[in-house]
């Protein structure tokens, strides 16, 4: 065999063997078996059961008997159990997961792959970043290795580990599809998180689980998926670990999170707008209005300004401004570089604090049926001061996690109509909504029609 043929043969062997070596993650995965956990949340929910003349409704439906008048619904409570994922952050018992995994939970349990189980205390939660910090009574845990999400590049390989649909310690592989994604679940979650996007398979139950780089370091926390089917479609979003750790440190110290606030409303800079005002390229956050008395107004920022940098950190999109200011400690002074009247200028800004939006449970109007049909807590539009008296419909105040409407209907949505097949019903108030929903059988699909942020919505929801 000539030297040339030998070289060709050796090259072919190396090319054949390299992919197998590159895609063998067994050692990495093995090291995480005592660090990735299943989170089980239990909460009590109210349910109502209607009877007709003392007989259950199902009896009339099954045998086709004429339906008598409804009795008042009988109220009872049951336990609702939901699950997610998490990981060990420290040897002394701190566990990190998503806020929405433990939201409104009465009890939280942390389960390890070796079947050890601990009752967890919720140290603190942060809805805007979707982070929850838990603590279990143990001093000898195996924490994950924490990486640096600032070093992550588009195209990097990643591994997601979690408990999708309660299949514990499931492993999937993908890449970083994009960085700095700005998304929202409809309740504000995501507005202050520059998400990592990945095509690693992430499903319900993966929430709160770690996203590893190929060095076995956690660089993100799986949080959201975009899906029309409810399952994995290659669009998953993870909270960068650097952002998560900033939140965790505040939760450890005070049990809550403070964020920076500029007090501007705005949007993107189009190419036409950039050309019209004399900017070389269409980048930055366009300020459309400033909130009176807040940091932007006090520092002299005006409507029409384009903010292109904060402390030398480039602002490409409006969401970059939200992310950057949100991660800035309140009362910190930063330098905002902005474009105004044909030239760039620097403005010193003392960053304010993001106003809290604590819910006043006692002041929320309660529907007569406290089970919240489809998992929706509602308010009549006629009860809102800024709505005309003639307005009809209901506004969504809250969406219960893991409810039929979760992921389809969001806080703030206005519902005006429900349709199914050839039937159509106008929703005038909460009582209308309850009666309409209860007229459908379990398993039927209804179409909820209304508006979201001024745009029409048509969302299918299955009756459960």
162 lies in the same domain as 243: yes
At 306-339, the pLDDT tens digits run: 999 999 999 999 889 989 999 999 999 999 999 9
In this structure, the number of other CB atoms found within 10 A of the CB of residue 360 comes to 6
Beta bridge partners of 290: 264
185 lies in the same domain as 152: yes
The count of structural domains within the chain is 4
For 202, the token pair is 């992430």
149 lies in the same domain as 239: yes
Gap between the Cα atoms of 113 and 141, Å rounded: 13
- Give the pLDDT band (50/70/90) at residue 66: low
240 lies in the same domain as 285: no
In the prediction, which pLDDT does 328 show?
93
Task: From 304, 323, 353, give the residue that closes a domain.
Answer: 353
183 lies in the same domain as 199: yes
In a domain, 182, yes or no: yes
Any idea which of 44-58, 157-171, 237-251, 380-394 has the lowest mean pLDDT?
A: 44-58
Most confident by average pLDDT, 294-303, 356-365, 394-403: 294-303
In a domain, 28, yes or no: no
Answer yes or no: is pLDDT of 361 > 60: no
In the prediction, which pLDDT does 150 show?
94
Residue carrying structure tokens 């905002």: 336
| Catalytic residue IDs | 100, 130, 207
Any idea which of 24-38, 114-128, 175-189, 449-463 has the lowest mean pLDDT?
A: 175-189
- Give the pLDDT band (50/70/90) at residue 353: very high
Task: From 223, 253, 283, give the residue that closes a domain.
Answer: 253
Gap between the Cα atoms of 159 and 199, Å rounded: 10
In a domain, 21, yes or no: no
Answer yes or no: is pLDDT of 367 > 80: no
Task: Return the CATH number at 154.
Answer: 2.40.10.10
Task: From 208, 232, 253, give the residue that closes a domain.
Answer: 253
Beta strands in 182-328 (DSSP E): 195-198, 210-213, 217-225, 236-240, 260-261, 264-268, 285-290, 306-310, 313-314
Gap between the Cα atoms of 93 and 218, Å rounded: 17
Gap between the Cα atoms of 104 and 438, Å rounded: 25
Gap between the Cα atoms of 363 and 309, Å rounded: 41
Answer yes or no: is pLDDT of 450 > 60: yes
In a domain, 14, yes or no: no
In a domain, 167, yes or no: yes
98 lies in the same domain as 150: no
Answer yes or no: is pLDDT of 380 > 50: yes
Mean per-residue pLDDT, 155-178: 94
89 lies in the same domain as 106: yes
Task: Return the CATH number at 418.
Answer: 2.30.42.10
378 lies in the same domain as 429: yes
In a domain, 360, yes or no: no
242 lies in the same domain as 267: no
Mean per-residue pLDDT, 132-157: 95
Q: Are 387 and 416 in contact (CB under 8 A)?
A: no
In the prediction, which pLDDT does 6 show?
60
Any idea which of 114-123, 308-317, 445-454 has the lowest mean pLDDT?
A: 445-454
Pairwise pLDDT comparison (255 vs 36), residue with the higher score: 36
Answer yes or no: is pLDDT of 364 > 50: no
In the prediction, which pLDDT does 243 show?
95
In a domain, 331, yes or no: yes
Any idea which of 81-95, 102-116, 184-198, 417-431 has the lowest mean pLDDT?
A: 184-198
In the prediction, which pLDDT does 288 show?
85
Beta bridge partners of 172: 160
For 358, the token pair is 């604590």
Answer yes or no: is pLDDT of 365 > 50: no
For 386, the token pair is 């800024």
44 lies in the same domain as 115: yes
Pairwise pLDDT comparison (18 vs 427), residue with the higher score: 427
Gap between the Cα atoms of 242 and 219, Å rounded: 8
Number of H helices, E strands in the chain: 9, 29
Answer yes or no: is pLDDT of 56 > 90: no
Q: Calculate the average pLDDT of the chain.
A: 83
Mean per-residue pLDDT, 355-379: 59
Radius of gyration of the chain (CA): 26
At 76-97, the pLDDT tens digits run: 677 888 899 999 999 999 999 9
Q: What is the DSSP string of 231-251?
A: S--S-EEEEEHHHHHHHHHHH
Range of the domain at 155: 145-253
- Give the pLDDT band (50/70/90) at residue 74: low
Gap between the Cα atoms of 11 and 301, Å rounded: 62
In this structure, the number of other CB atoms found within 10 A of the CB of residue 254 comes to 10
Answer yes or no: is pLDDT of 116 > 80: yes
Residue carrying structure tokens 């929320």: 364
290 lies in the same domain as 341: yes
In this structure, the number of other CB atoms found within 10 A of the CB of residue 232 comes to 18
156 lies in the same domain as 224: yes
In this structure, the number of other CB atoms found within 10 A of the CB of residue 310 comes to 23
In a domain, 15, yes or no: no
- Give the pLDDT band (50/70/90) at residue 196: very high
Q: Are 65 and 55 in contact (CB under 8 A)?
A: no
In the prediction, which pLDDT does 368 show?
40
């Amino acid at each position: 065999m000539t030297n040339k043929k030998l070289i060709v043969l050796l090259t072919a062997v190396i090319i054949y063997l390299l992919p197998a070596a590159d895609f063998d993650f067994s050692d990495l995965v093995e090291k995480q078996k005592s660090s990735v956990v299943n989170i089980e949340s239990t909460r009590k929910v109210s349910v109502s059961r209607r009877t007709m003349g003392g007989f259950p409704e199902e009896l009339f439906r099954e045998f086709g008997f004429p339906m008598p008048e409804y009795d008042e619904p009988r109220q009872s409570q049951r336990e609702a159990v939901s699950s997610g994922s998490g990981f060990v952050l420290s040897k002394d018992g701190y566990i990190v997961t998503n806020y929405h995994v433990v939201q409104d939970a009465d009890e939280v349990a942390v389960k390890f792959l070796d079947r050890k189980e601990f009752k967890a205390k919720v140290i603190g939660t942060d809805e805007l970043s979707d982070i929850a910090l838990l603590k279990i009574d143990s001093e000898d845990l195996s924490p994950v290795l924490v990486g640096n999400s600032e070093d992550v590049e588009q195209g990097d390989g990643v591994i997601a580990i979690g408990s999708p649909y309660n299949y514990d310690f499931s492993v999937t592989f993908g890449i970083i599809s994009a960085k700095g994604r700005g998304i929202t679940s409809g309740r504000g979650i995501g507005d202050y998180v520059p998400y990592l996007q990945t095509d690693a398979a992430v499903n319900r139950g993966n929430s709160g689980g770690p996203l590893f780089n190929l060095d076995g370091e956690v660089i993100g926390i799986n949080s959201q998926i975009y899906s029309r089917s409810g399952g994995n479609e290659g669009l998953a979003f993870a909270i960068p670990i650097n952002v998560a750790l900033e939140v965790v440190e505040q939760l450890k110290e005070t049990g809550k999170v403070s964020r920076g606030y500029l007090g501007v409303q705005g949007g993107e800079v189009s190419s036409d707008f950039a050309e019209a005002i004399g900017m070389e390229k269409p980048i930055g956050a366009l300020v459309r209005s400033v909130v009176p008395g807040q940091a932007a107004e006090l520092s002299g920022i005006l409507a029409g300004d384009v903010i292109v940098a904060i402390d030398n950190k480039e602002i490409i999109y409006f969401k970059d401004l939200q992310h950057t200011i949100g991660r800035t400690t309140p009362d910190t002074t930063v330098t905002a570089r902005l474009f105004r009247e044909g030239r760039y200028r620097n403005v010193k800004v003392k960053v304010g604090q993001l106003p809290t939006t604590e819910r006043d449970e006692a002041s929320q109007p309660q529907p007569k049926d406290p089970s919240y049909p489809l998992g929706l807590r509602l308010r009549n539009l006629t009860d809102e001061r800024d709505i005309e008296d003639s307005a009809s419909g209901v506004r969504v105040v809250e969406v219960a996690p893991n409810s039929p409407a979760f992921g389809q209907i969001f806080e703030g949505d206005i519902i005006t109509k429900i349709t199914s097949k050839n039937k159509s019903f106008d929703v005038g108030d909460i009582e209308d909504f309850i009666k309409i929903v209860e007229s459908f059988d379990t398993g039927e699909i209804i179409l909820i029609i209304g508006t979201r942020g001024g745009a029409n919505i048509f969302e299918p929801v299955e009756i459960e």
